[in-house]
Amino acid sequence: MKAAVIVFPGSNCDRDLAVALRDAGADVQMVWHKDAALPAGVDLVAVPGGFSFGDYLRCGAIAAQSPVCQAVVAHAGRGGYVLGICNGFQVLTETRLLPGALLRNAGLRFVCRTVGLRVATDDSVFTAGYGRGAEIALPVAHHDGNYFADAETLARLQGEDRIAFTYADNPNGSVADIAGVLSTNRRVLGMMPHPERAADAALGGTDGQALFRAVVGVMAQA
C-alpha cells in the first residue's frame, strides 16, 4: 500500500504522519508542494498539520492553490483516498474537496490538549477500526478549528452519515461538535485532532493507531 505525505513550507506534522503510516505498514513517500504529479500508484494522499504558507490570507488558502493540490484534487476525483489532519483539513476545505470551513476558535485561544472524541460513523476506511460510538482520546493543537457549515450543508452531512468524529467536550465552538467530516464518496476525511500524535505508546497514547492500521489494511488487500 502506497501513501504520499504532502509537504508545504510551514508543514510541521509531515514526518510524524509518515512515521505513523510506516508503522502501520504503508510504503510512504514525501511529496513537495511544487510537484505537479503524485508518485505513480499512490493509494492514499495524506495532508499534514502545520502552518502552511504561514496561514497567510486564510489557513490553507495558499496551499490549496499549489501545484500538488491540483494533483490531490484529481486523485480524489478518480476515487482516491485522501486524509487531511489539522492544517490538512483546512487545506481540503479550501480546495472544496470537503464542505464547510474552519474558523478562528470561538474562545480565541490556541487550544493544545488531548480531547475526548466520539467516533460518529464506522462507515469509512478511516473509522472502521474503531466501531460506531467508540470513545477515543486524541490531541488537538489549533487556533482555527471551529468547524462551520451552513444549515443546509450540516443537514446533508448528518443525513448522509458523513460526520466522522465529534468532540465529547467542544474545545473550539465547532457546529454540532464536529471534529472530522467525510466526502460524499467517504474516501476523503478531514479532521482537526491528530491521530499521528497518538500512534506510539511512548508518545501521547495509541488511540490513533486504529485509523492508520485500518486504512493501510484495507488498501493492502485491494
Partner 1 sequence: MKARVHVMLKAGVLDPQGEAVRHALGTLGFDGVNGVRQGKVIELDLAEVDRAAAEAQVREMCEKLLANTVIESYRVEVA
> Which residues form the catalytic set?
86, 194, 196
Distance CA 137, CA 142 (A): 16
- The nearer residue to partner 1, 108 or 112, going by C-beta atoms, is 108
- The nearer residue to partner 1, 67 or 107, going by C-beta atoms, is 107
Interaction of residue 65 with partner 1, rule CB under 8 A: yes
Three cell numbers, residue 46: 495524506
- The nearer residue to partner 1, 32 or 56, going by C-beta atoms, is 56
Contact residue for partner 1 among 39, 148, 166, 170 (CB under 8 A): 148
For residue 118, give the nearest of 199, 191, 218, 23 by alpha carbon: 191
In the chain, the N- to C-terminal Cα span, in Å, equals 9
Burial degree of 135 (CB within 10 A; 0-12, 13-18, 19+): exposed
Q: 187-214 in b/e burial notation, b at 16+ Cβ within 10 A?
A: bbbbbbbbbbbbbbeeebbebbbbbbbb
Candidates 1-9, 11-19, 77-85, 148-156; binding stretch for partner 1 (CB under 8 A):
148-156
Interaction of residue 143 with partner 1, rule CB under 8 A: no
Contact residue for partner 1 among 19, 73, 103, 111 (CB under 8 A): 103
Dihedral sign, Cα of residue 90, residue 94, residue 98, residue 101: positive
- Per-residue x/- track, 108-137, partner 1 (CB under 8 A): x-----------------------------
Dihedral sign, Cα of residue 39, residue 45, residue 48, residue 51: positive
**CB 105 to partner 1: min, Å:** 7
Q: Looking at this protein, which amino acid is placed at residue 202?
A: A
Interaction of residue 87 with partner 1, rule CB under 8 A: no
- The nearer residue to partner 1, 155 or 220, going by C-beta atoms, is 155
Binding site for partner 1 (CB under 8 A): 57-58, 61, 65, 93-94, 99-101, 103-108, 146, 148-150, 173
